Amino acid sequence: MGYNVADIIEKALKIAVRRRAIYESIGQHKSDILYVKIFSNVLIKQMDKTVKYYESLLNEIRKVTFEEIDFSTYDKMSSLISNFNMRLNEINITSGREFLEFSLSLERAVYSLLVDIQGRFVKNTDDVHTRTYEILSDIILSKAKQIEMIERML
């Protein structure tokens, strides 16, 4: 059995769980800064929704057969995700605005990663009409909405 979109979603799920942990940690360490605590709670709830979204996608995907992703493409995608994970670090936050700017930067980086992964999946014009491409597009759209939410808070 080869790789498919479920493998990518599982990796995206791990990134979401890690981002949630970062937001939670910042909220706990900076609980004396009211806005950081509030923003942390909002972003944690958003990450919880993202995790549930990915989990429901995985449940749906496991019931259906999807296009396989060739090994070399999957290997490149996996490498991108691993490199991204190594760069995920908590920073020292001193204000609510700084926390939102950090969160916005992080969410934009995840968005860019997802777009890059989707782009690597496309080898010819037929690939944009696959279910895998549609699912990745939905995930990217969801991420864009999260970015817009953080931009509004800023």
DSSP-derived secondary structure for 65-132: --PPBPHHHHHHHHHHHHHHHHH-------SHHHHHHHHHHHHHHHHHHHHHHHHHH-SSGGGGGSHH
- The tokens describing 119, both together, are 């782009």
- Whole-number pLDDT of residue 131: 86
Sorting pLDDT into bands at 50, 70 and 90, what band is 121? confident
The H-or-E segment that residue 141 falls in is: helix 131-153
Query: Does CATH place domain 5-152 in 1.20.1260?
Result: yes
pLDDT, residue 55, reads 94
Global pTM?
Answer: 0.87
pLDDT exceeds 80 at position 2: no
Identify the three-state secondary structure at position 3. strand
d(CA 114, CA 71): 18
Rounded Cα gap, residues 89 and 33, in angstroms: 20
Taking residues 16-34, report their average pLDDT.
87
